[in-house]
C-alpha cells in the first residue's frame, strides 16, 4: 500500500528572498532521507510561502524495502581450525551479524578465502522512519538563523505549527517543541486556521483560506 506524505513547517514570516531556496532544500533533504531508508515514493511537490515550507510526496510505500546483505568476516585460516570447526572468531562474527554459524560460507578474494554471512534485513513500517524526520529538518542550513525562548538551537525563524501526515493520519513527532498535527494556518488577515483532512487536500484546503501555497501558481498569477 502507498499513501501521500505531507510535511509543513509553519514559521514566522521569512524574508522573501529565502523562501524558494529554503523550500527546495527541505524537499531535497526529505526525499534523500526516504531514499536512504529504502522507502519508495512517487511524484514530489514543493510548496512555500513566507509563513510556511512544505513538501507533499505521493505514493509513499508503507514499509521499507527488505534487503539482503552479504557481510564479510575473517579469513578462513582464522575462522576455522585444522579440523574444520568454527573458531571463537567465527562464532563471534556470526553473533554480531545475528545469524548462526550454520549459514556461514566462504568466498575467495585475491586467492584468500574469507567467511561470509548472508542476512536478510526486514523493512520496518514507514511511519517509524518518518517519525525521525524532525532530525532531518534540524540539519537544514540557512544564510541567517535565530533562536527563541529558552532553546539554544537556531533555525531560520521561530516555528509555530508543524504538520506531518500520511494520508489522513497524523504522524506523531515534534520539532523544536512543537507537536505534529493536521492544523495549518490560512492567510494572516483574510483566512483562519485550516484543518488538513487528508494529505492530498493540502493545496485546496489552503486556497479556501486565501493561501496559494504553490510557488509556480502564485508566480503565474
Whole-number Å distance between alpha carbons of 86 and 72: 15
Nearest CA to 133 out of 1, 4, 3, 8 is that of 8
Average pLDDT, integer, range 18-28: 97
pLDDT at 121: 87
- The verdict on 87 and 28 lying in the same domain is no
- The verdict on 173 and 195 lying in the same domain is yes
Which residues on neighbouring strands pair with residue 54, listed in sequence order?
A: 8, 47
Model confidence over 28-81: pLDDT tens digits?
999 999 999 999 999 999 999 999 999 999 999 999 999 988 899 999 999 999
Average pLDDT, integer, range 8-37: 97
- The verdict on 50 and 9 lying in the same domain is yes
Full-model pTM = 0.85
Whole-number Å distance between alpha carbons of 51 and 211: 10
Average pLDDT, integer, range 193-199: 97
Q: How far is CA 1 from CA 60, 64, 89, 108, 206, in A?
A: 8, 12, 43, 41, 27
Q: In 10 A of CB 43, how many CB atoms?
A: 9
- The verdict on 156 and 213 lying in the same domain is yes
pLDDT at 151: 84
Whole-number Å distance between alpha carbons of 4 and 56: 7
Q: Number of structural domains, the chain?
A: 2
Share the mean pLDDT of the chain. 95
- The verdict on 76 and 41 lying in the same domain is no
Spatial CB neighbours of 116, under 8 Å, sequence gap ≥ 6 = 70, 71, 72, 73, 104, 105, 106, 107
Whole-number Å distance between alpha carbons of 183 and 158: 17
pLDDT at 36: 97
Of all residues in the chain, the percent with pLDDT exceeding 70 is 100
- The verdict on 72 and 102 lying in the same domain is yes
Burial of 32 (0-12, 13-18, 19+ CB in 10 A): exposed
Structural domain including 107 reads 67-121
pLDDT at 119: 86
Model confidence over 72-121: pLDDT tens digits?
999 999 999 988 999 999 999 999 998 999 989 999 999 999 999 988 88
Which residues on neighbouring strands pair with residue 201, listed in sequence order?
A: none
- The verdict on 81 and 24 lying in the same domain is no
Residue 164 has pLDDT above 90, yes or no: yes
Amino acid at each position: 500500500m502507498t499513501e501521500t506524505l505531507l510535511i509543513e513547517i509553519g514559521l514566522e514570516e521569512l524574508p522573501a528572498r529565502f523562501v524558494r531556496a529554503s523550500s527546495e532544500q527541505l524537499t531535497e533533504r526529505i526525499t534523500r532521507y526516504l531514499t536512504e531508508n529504502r522507502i519508495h515514493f512517487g511524484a514530489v511537490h514543493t510548496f512555500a510561502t513566507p509563513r510556511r515550507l512544505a513538501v507533499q510526496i505521493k505514493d509513499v510505500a508503507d514499509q521499507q524495502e527488505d534487503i539482503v546483505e552479504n557481510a564479510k568476516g575473517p579469513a578462513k585460516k582464522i575462522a576455522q581450525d585444522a579440523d574444520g570447526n568454527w573458531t571463537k572468531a567465527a562464532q563471534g562474527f556470526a553473533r554480531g551479524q545475528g545469524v548462526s554459524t550454520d549459514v556461514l560460507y566462504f568466498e575467495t578474494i585475491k586467492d584468500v578465502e574469507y567467511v561470509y554471512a548472508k542476512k536478510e534485513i526486514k523493512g520496518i513500517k514507514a511511519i517509524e522512519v518518518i517519525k525521525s524526520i524532525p532530525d532531518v529538518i534540524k540539519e537544514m542550513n540557512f544564510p541567517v538563523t535565530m533562536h527563541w525562548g529558552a532553546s539554544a538551537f537556531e533555525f531560520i525563524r521561530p516555528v509555530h505549527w508543524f504538520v506531518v501526515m500520511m494520508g489522513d493520519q497524523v504522524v506523531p513527532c515534534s520539532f523544536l517543541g512543537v507537536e505534529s498535527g493536521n492544523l495549518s494556518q490560512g492567510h494572516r488577515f483574510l483566512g483562519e486556521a485550516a484543518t488538513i483532512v487528508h494529505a492530498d487536500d493540502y493545496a485546496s484546503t489552503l486556497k479556501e483560506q486565501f493561501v496559494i501555497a504553490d510557488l509556480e501558481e502564485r508566480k503565474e498569477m
